Structure 1
Amino acid sequence: MPRLPRAKALILAAARDIVERDGAGALTFEELSRVSGVTRGGITYHFPTKDALLQGLLEHDMQQWKESEAACTPSNLPCPKQCELIGFIRSHTSEDESRRRFVAGMLSAAVHQPDLLDGCREEIRQRYLGSDWNDTELRAHVLRLAAVGLFWDEIFQFQSMPPEVRRRFTGLLEQLAREWVPAAGDPEPDTEQDKKRK
């Protein structure tokens, strides 16, 4: 990721701190100027409106998600698809209090301005563009959705599982990723329908 200009990086870091602490509703240019040390004119040079600032925050967060996923992706498995899937699972199930507070702080803005999430929607659309949705891809998607569900369980602090069970659950997701996504040249795992036919 190219390095951001210093003032823009300061603005985004301060804006994220405000959102984490008090939610997106508390993000005003005055408060941002106070926290970041950047003048209001400096802020509006990079982000002319609050919507542009929120969009910039989300874009920066998406880039951090990509970096987190890359850092969580193992490189020692025989199948790149297994590696990618496990990286996805690990990045979505890691317990990150800062991320939890940021996403929780952005929820009201996203609910009131659904178009703020257009960049996220496009990112997800691009990820799955060209998928043929065979049985292996469907199984992988089941695991992705389970990881995303655990992420939202954490965001809302439902704590549906005790910590030890949560660790076992994420371990099971990774185990299933290895079993359900075959390495190149390996046969597809049998579906329940295949087993019934045999």
Structure 2
Amino acid sequence: MIVAYIPSSRCSARGSTVRTVQIGAPLRMAGERRTRTNSRSRILDAAAEIVAEIGAGKMTLDAVAERAGLSKGGLLYNFPSKDALLQAMIERMVEDGITEREASRSAHAHRPNVEARCIIASDLAHCGSHSRDVASGMLAAISENPSLLEPVRKVVAEEWAMMRASDCPELSAIAWLAVQGLMSLDMFAISPVTPEDREHILAALDRLLDCRALPAPQ
């Protein structure tokens, strides 16, 4: 405990009144919050690595605790069950996607269909090999507990509404659905699309989003 000396405003000729204020407790609580946040991040990182390697179905809390360098009790303090840990993993993936989406906004601010561009940029930023392996590894757990997908359902509905407000909702939807198709093929490791093909497709979608309206029917 840290005790501070604070002179009282009620001073007399006989001396000052001393008041003590305990400031150690708030500092200790702040330190505990930082420690817990760091522990949560380590646990989530460790769980993501294991899920990418062997899948969520084979992941155990003991293995996650060992990989994170924590006791199992320390893990359970943060995540009382495997489902709670999986839920937190999905929520972090969603939060990372939203952060990426908003971070890309300034780059597209003066172009048509800004919302669709930001959403697609976020999706593409999280479809690398590690993210793909983590998402693929989660499939078995999600099939057993579909409620784990609730955060994803929520953000997809939100982003769909955002795209409907774009300059051209139809073109935005076409571009977004095309990217979702590419990501799904990657997730299941069945994509015939070469890296060169992928670049051409994304460039074509970028040009498509430069349009503010569908071409008039012939």
TM range (shorter): 0.7 to 0.9
Moved more, 154-163 or 111-120: 154-163
Amino acid in the other structure paired with 2:114: C
- In the other structure, the counterpart of 1:158 is 190
Distance 1:90 1:62, change over 3 A: same
Greater helix proportion: 1
Q: What is the rounded CA distance, in whole Å, between the counterparts of 1:146 and 1:56 in structure 2?
A: 28
Unaligned runs of 5+ in 1: 183-188
Task: Tell me whether 1:22 sits opposite 2:54 in the alignment.
Answer: yes
CA RMSD of aligned residues (A): 2.4
Once the two structures are superposed, residues 121-177 of structure 1 have per-residue CA deviations (whole angstroms, 9 ceiling, x without a partner) of 112223334876799212211111111111111112222222211110011111101
Once the two structures are superposed, residues 65-109 of structure 1 have per-residue CA deviations (whole angstroms, 9 ceiling, x without a partner) of 223333444525524x62332232233345511111001100111
Unaligned runs of 5+ in 2: 1-33
Q: Within 5 Å, give how 1:10-49 maps onto structure 2.
A: 10-49=42-81
Task: Tell me whether 1:99 sits opposite 2:131 in the alignment.
Answer: yes
The structure 2 residue matched to 1:86, chosen from 105, 117, 123, is 117
Task: Tell me whether 1:168 sits opposite 2:190 in the alignment.
Answer: no
Q: What is the rounded CA distance, in whole Å, between the counterparts of 1:190 and 1:90 in structure 2?
A: 22
Distance 1:84 1:134, change over 3 A: closer
Give the percent of matched residue pairs that are identical in Structure 1 and Structure 2. Answer: 26
The answer on whether the counterparts of 2:116 and 2:163 sit within 8 Å (CA) in structure 1 is no
Amino acid in the other structure paired with 1:140: S
- In the other structure, the counterpart of 1:62 is 94
Q: Which has the larger radius of gyration?
A: 2
TM-score by length of 1: 0.81
Distance 1:164 1:123, change over 3 A: same
- In the other structure, the counterpart of 1:195 is 217
Greater strand proportion: 2
Moved more, 126-135 or 113-122: 126-135
The answer on whether the counterparts of 2:163 and 2:173 sit within 8 Å (CA) in structure 1 is no
Q: What is the rounded CA distance, in whole Å, between the counterparts of 2:123 and 2:66 in structure 1?
A: 33
Distance 1:130 1:173, change over 3 A: closer
Amino acid in the other structure paired with 2:46: A
Q: Name which structure has the greater RCO, CA cutoff 8 Å, separation 6+.
A: 1
Matched position secondary structure for 1:24: coil
Distance 1:29 1:98, change over 3 A: same
